[in-house]
Amino acid sequence: MTLLNDPRTRHRRLGVAAVAAGLLAALLTAGPAAATPDPGDGPAAREKVSRSDAAEVKAAVASGEIPGQDEIFHSDNVQHLTNIPKDALPGINSDLAFQGKYAFAGNYDGFRVLDISNPKAPKTVSQVLCPGSQNDISVSGNLLFLSTDSSRSDNSCNSTTQPATEKSSWEGMKVFDITDKANPKYVAAVETACGSHTHSLVPERKNVYIYVSSYSPSATFPDCQPPHDGISVIKVPRNAPEKAAVVNFPVLFPGEGPDGGGNPGSPTNPGVSKTTGCHDITVLPSKDLAAGACMGDGILFSIKDPEHPKVIDQVQDNVNFAFWHSATFNQKADKVVFTDELGGGGAATCNAAIGPNRGADGIYDIVGKGDRRKLVFRSYYKIPRHQADTENCVAHNGSLIPVKGKDLMVQAWYQGGVSVWDFTDSARPKEIAYFERGPLSTDTLQVGGSWSAYYYNGYIYSNDIAKGFDVLKLTDRRTDPAQRVHLRELNVQTQPDYFD
């Protein structure tokens, strides 16, 4: 079903009632709630909602206030070209990377290579079984990189789960040769402290540097000891990837004592995640900059020396941000969008009870020059359509849409769908397009929806946790100029200079 681009045509009343009992009761308190980690590498949880909430969802579906179960809604300027369901890999779909005519789709059970030369009919080229959440994915030249952030029995693709309390357990980075897209070859593995939840590439001619983000240390984990207030830096020689190794562990939040120097979290800052590392980093090599979303902190740092990144500024939002999740620069590098993954991606936070400023994007201007630059808060952005209490929804992964003179972004919101929005005016962001499905269930909260939604060479590609790989076509005078920009490769956490 297609609707006019007006949030009033589908402004949901859901969420005024209490959120599913026992799931996120803390979200309804005066302060922000503690974030939970991203979904684990087990099956997605299903949380039973109250009878009254389930009845409200069903009534809203019947009245047309929200889409029916799995029904598709989108603005008039969006066309849904196709969906490619999951195939051999049944796990949670995760991040995306692109190279030439190929898309690389992460999955908690491995990764999938798709030929997108015809965006209306993508074809699976290969599927690699290699379990280990999240399998955050990126590519550079003939190399593919895969993050493992679940404790495994060894570094092979045949490993099994094993407690992190055992010294022999393994977590870290895996490297594949993708010269033959139909037959990727596993060539190297590097163990990193606390594993690799996400990673970001700083590519050079002869080497690829990898910034590895991980968190949640414990004194009981031999390979993940507190305070863990830094990131692992891996150097991968392109011509000898088997020699990949950790070359540094820069401490981004120096401080005395076992807790380090990041956000202390609760009880000092109730409901805010304690900083014990970073969740995700976005680098902008053309400007020698990086932005880190680090649990309780947002940071801006210089990567002039990629082996020794240097923090320039550090900010917190202890009122509305529970878990700093990811970051996106604008093209001029004078703004950063930080996302708050309130509820860890497994909760219903896009409702009236939570409001517009939590589980949202925070838009920051970069003010000043050189190492004196500062991050200055301007506003929040959240999708203007309330979601059902059976839909997990929160700000998640997105990318720029390259239009000169404008700051436009496409972004995934789990079961909130895909949102295209304009933050050219930092203080007044606005949505200009959207795509979403109705809830997976009207009785239980099931984890699903768009994990990542990225713009690549004229199309929007979304990796839906449950439904598979979606391709969207955006036709709008405000975004049409982006169709003239073509990239040979895109890892969203390594932002290109689109107009160089």
Query: HEC profile for 376-411?
Result: EEEEEECCCCCCCCCECECCCEEEEECCCCCCEEEE
For residue 26, the tally of other CB atoms under 10 A from its CB is: 15
* Alpha-carbon dihedral sign for residues 426, 6, 483, 99: positive
> Which of 283, 282, 355 minimizes the C-alpha distance to 28?
355
Cα gap 475→369, rounded to integer Å:
37
Of residues 58 and 268, the one with the higher pLDDT is 268
Q: What is the pLDDT of residue 272?
A: 97
- Asked if 146 and 133 touch (Cβ cutoff 8 Å), the reply is no
Phi, psi (deg, nearest 5) at residue 10:
-150, 50
- Asked if 125 and 114 touch (Cβ cutoff 8 Å), the reply is yes
Q: What is the pLDDT of residue 64?
A: 65
Beta bridge partners of 80: 472
pLDDT tens column, 211-229: 999 999 999 999 999 999 9
Q: What is the pLDDT of residue 71?
A: 94
* Alpha-helical runs (H) found in 107-237: none
Q: Which helix (H) or strand (E) holds 110?
A: strand 110-115
Residue 118: CB partners within 8 Å, gap ≥ 6?
A: none
Pairing of strands 459-464, 450-456: antiparallel
- Asked if 161 and 150 touch (Cβ cutoff 8 Å), the reply is yes
For residue 76, the tally of other CB atoms under 10 A from its CB is: 13
Q: pLDDT confidence of 310, banded at 50, 70, 90?
A: very high
Q: Which helix (H) or strand (E) holds 459?
A: strand 459-464
For residue 450, the tally of other CB atoms under 10 A from its CB is: 29
**Averaged pLDDT, 5-11:** 35
Q: What is the pLDDT of residue 58?
A: 65
The mean of the pLDDT values for the chain is 90
pLDDT tens column, 366-382: 999 999 999 999 999 99
pTM above 0.75, yes or no: yes
Q: What is the pLDDT of residue 306?
A: 96
Cα gap 103→125, rounded to integer Å:
10
Pairing of strands 450-456, 72-75: unpaired
- Residue 11, pLDDT above cutoff 90: no
Q: What is the pLDDT of residue 255?
A: 84
Residue 281: CB partners within 8 Å, gap ≥ 6?
A: 198, 200, 211, 213, 231, 290, 291, 292, 293, 327, 493
